[in-house]
């Protein structure tokens, strides 16, 4: 693997496997916060598992309170500044917020179908919505702005705000003509860089790129679901390499979390079958990306 850090090139042989968290129900989200790993599973109770980031020991289980039976929890993000973990509820069109200091949950509405979550440099929550729009919320749920995506961005999964206030978006589902990762200008009107076009297994292609993570130099990690790999892309979205190959996964990568401080990449590895949303069982695989 080749990474560019502060003008230098660091060469590593591959992303090294560090640990695998236990298999169980499908994994809907993974986040790292305040020395812990938060793992979101598809289940009625104890949806959130909390592991120590150093020992990987299970510390506690949390149940999202007052959740409707029709709820569909689909993603997770964290904020070191607010010390909060955010969980999206697709059917309830809301965000659940776990305050790690007060140890309690609150919630606020999105007014749309939330897909992927991320937190930007202003500590605000970016919610990529099913109707091709990004909504930016403050940590208390106040709507800050609504950003329409370009018309050719179909089935967006997640958006991360770049350092120049542009947006990196992954989009494309089964049957879509375009599956790609693209960088959109700060004025929300132009695609300035892109990776992928038609779905496929080539180095310049993606097939259902479902989640992203960005490092401090704006290299992007992309979970390429159908191709069973995690790709490393340059700041201009050029292909660097497959940082996690299908040989390093048991099933399919569906969620990502990058812990820049520790040089860890957490990959939700889910079995694909006849379960809810096509996903059956899941686990989180921990890789070193120093």
Return the pLDDT at 274.
61
CA distance 49 to 57: 10
Are 40 and 30 within 8 A, CB to CB? yes
Q: Mean pLDDT throughout 95-113?
A: 95
Residue percentage of the chain with pLDDT more than 70: 93
CA distance 50 to 149: 34
CATH code for position 120:
2.120.10.30
Average pLDDT of the chain is 91
**Residue 143: CB partners within 8 Å, gap ≥ 6?**
135, 136, 137
Position 75 pLDDT exceeds 50: yes
Buried residues in 159-180 as b, exposed as e (16+ CB within 10 A): bbbbeeebbbbbbbeeeeebbb
Are 39 and 27 within 8 A, CB to CB? yes
Return the pLDDT at 203.
94
Q: Residue 265 is part of which domain span?
A: 2-288
- 248 phi and psi angles, rounded to 5 deg: -95, 0
pLDDT band for position 15 (50/70/90)?
A: confident
pLDDT band for position 8 (50/70/90)?
A: very low
Position 237 pLDDT exceeds 60: yes
Neighbours of 136 (CB within 10 A): 18
Question: How many domains, in total, are found in the chain?
Answer: 1
Return the pLDDT at 145.
95
pTM for the predicted model, two decimal places: 0.93
Position 4 pLDDT exceeds 50: no
Q: List the helix and strand counts (H, then E) for the chain.
A: 0, 27
29 closest CA partner among 116, 95, 132:
116
Position 276 pLDDT exceeds 70: no
Upper half-sphere CA count for residue 233 (Cβ side, 13 Å): 32
Position 83 pLDDT exceeds 70: yes
Q: Mean pLDDT throughout 228-249?
A: 96
Position 66 pLDDT exceeds 60: yes
**String of DSSP letters for 116-164:** EEEE-TTSPEEEEETTTEEEEE-TTS-EEEEEEPPTT--SEEEEEE-TT
pLDDT band for position 179 (50/70/90)?
A: very high
């Amino acid at each position: 693997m080749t990474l560019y850090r502060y003008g230098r090139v660091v060469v590593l042989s591959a992303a090294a496997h560090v640990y695998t968290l236990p298999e169980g129900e499908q994994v809907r989200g993974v986040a790292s916060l305040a020395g812990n790993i938060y793992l979101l599973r598809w289940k009625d109770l104890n949806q959130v598992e909390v592991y120590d980031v150093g020992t990987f020991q299970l510390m506690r289980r949390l149940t999202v309170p007052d959740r409707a039976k029709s709820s569909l929890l689909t993603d997770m993000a964290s904020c070191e500044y607010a010390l909060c973990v955010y969980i999206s509820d697709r059917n309830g069109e809301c965000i659940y917020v776990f305050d790690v200091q007060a140890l309690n949950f609150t919630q606020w509405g999105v007014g749309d179908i939330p897909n992927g979550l991320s937190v930007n440099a202003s500590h605000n929550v970016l919610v990529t919505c099913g109707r091709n729009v990004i909504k930016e919320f403050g940590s208390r749920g106040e709507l800050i702005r609504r950003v329409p995506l370009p018309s050719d961005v179909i089935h967006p999964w997640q958006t991360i705000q770049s350092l120049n206030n542009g947006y990196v978006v992954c989009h494309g589902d089964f049957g879509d003509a375009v599956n790609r990762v693209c960088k959109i200008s700060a004025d929300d009107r132009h695609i300035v860089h892109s990776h992928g076009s038609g779905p496929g297994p080539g180095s310049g292609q993606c097939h259902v790129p479902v989640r992203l993570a960005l490092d401090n130099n704006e290299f992007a990690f992309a979970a390429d679901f159908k191709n069973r790999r995690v790709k490393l892309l340059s700041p201009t979205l050029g292909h660097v390499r497959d940082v996690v190959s299908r040989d390093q996964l048991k099933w399919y990568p569906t969620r990502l979390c990058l812990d820049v401080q520790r040089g860890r990449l957490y990959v939700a590895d889910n079995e694909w079958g006849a379960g809810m949303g096509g996903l059956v069982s899941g686990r989180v695989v921990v890789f070193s990306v120093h």
